[in-house]
A = this chain, B = another copy of it.
Amino acid sequence: MSQKRIAIFGSTGSIGTQALEVIAANPNIFSVEVLTAQTNDELLVQQAFKFKPNVVVIGDERKYTKVKDALAGTDVKVFAGEKALEEVAALDIYDLMLAAIVGYAGLKPTLEALKNGKPVALANKETLVVAGDIVMQTAMEKRVPVIPVDSEHSAIFQCLVGETRNRIEKVILTASGGPFRGKKPNFLVNVKRDHALQHPNWTMGAKITIDSATLMNKGLEMIEAKWLFNLKPEQIQVVIHPQSIIHSMVQFEDGSIKAQMGVPDMKLPIQYAMAFPQRLPNDFPRLNFRNMNTLSFEEPDVKTFRNLGLAIEALGKGGNMPCILNAANEIAVYAFLRNRIGFLDMTEVVEQTMTKISHIEAPTLEEYFESDGEARSFAASLIQM
């Protein structure tokens, strides 16, 4: 069997580097054809020396010469800029794209991969949050799978294997509740960046860690689930499960529930998505039920964690509203990470932006881009005040 040729878009981030660990552990299964990074040219060059891809792309064009020079003695082709990401995604040099670019920037290359008939292992949730209808429509037309990498959606995907003819009653997205579970607004108002970056169970990038602390992450996952699994909003339930052992569940129309579980470790869903439909043996840590603490469940506190309520509202309204939510949230989170606004201010920014930008029921891709831009500008103007 020949190797599966992987294109990692976003190879220097948390998902990208873990994906490369998986690939390094399975050299007969995978090869690396494409690596891309936005700004971390040094790590990109290191990765290129180790994995010998066909192509690398550095998003930040100012770093092109630096990368080009560093790789001068190799066969690696070097490109730079946002447009190059799309152009490389359209090449027929890989078998699977791992879409691990953080945030909205991941959308265009992912769409190009799908148009190109390439399966996508999707670690970028904004792609579906912003333009899920267009993305899934493209995947369907090209008959290529979108395999989720998020642990929750990977869990649901795994539970659905072999059940395609059976109707889903609902999916149950589990949420750890983040570092501030049980806290109230009078506590949250004083939360600082470094505290919010300490997630109890998962090691992830900064943006998603903040989103986990505000529960926006779970809201974005609800929207993502809607598109991935073709669900109605009322079929998607969030349950707080502080131990993060059950990664999510599917309830079928006969009432039977299937769950996927494991030690919280992103390498498992990354490996699963890259190797699907095959599972690969590994030495990742195993659960041990004989010395397991109890598993508990509770309702999310949407009164305190209002971001989740806003996401549910956007999910219900549909159209460009999730796109607006996401854009405002990205601006708000990066402002919080730069200590520009407080923890609860993030919710204010999102809410006011959702109120301000016009709702469009069935936007074109261009209209999504416009809504995204308007939402970002407006959110940014709120922060600068």
Contacts and interface: CB of A to CB of B under 8 A. Distances in A.
B258 A259 contact: yes
A290 B281 contact: no
A271 B254 CA distance: 9
Interface of A is mostly: loop
A237 B282 CA distance: 20
A23 interface: no
A132 to B, nearest CB: 24
Given A256-B262, A258-B260, A278 B166 contact: yes
Contacts of A257: 260-262, 287
Which 8 pairs of residues, A with B, have the shortest CB-CB distance? A162-B162, A161-B162, A294-B294, A254-B279, A257-B261, A295-B295, A166-B279, A253-B281
A147 to B, nearest CB: 14
**Copies of this chain in the oligomer:** 2
Nearest to A239: B289
Given A161-B161, A161-B162, A167 B279 contact: yes
Interface string A168-201: 0100100000000000000000000000000000
Given A290-B297, A297-B289, A158 B256 contact: yes
B255 A262 contact: yes
A286 B252 CA distance: 10
Contacts of A287: 251, 255, 257
Given A158-B258, A294-B294, 4 more contacts: A254-B280, A255-B263, A256-B260, A290-B297
Contacts of A295: 294-296
Contact of A249 (B249, B255, B261, B282): B261
A336 interface: no
Given A278-B166, A279-B166, A272 B256 contact: yes
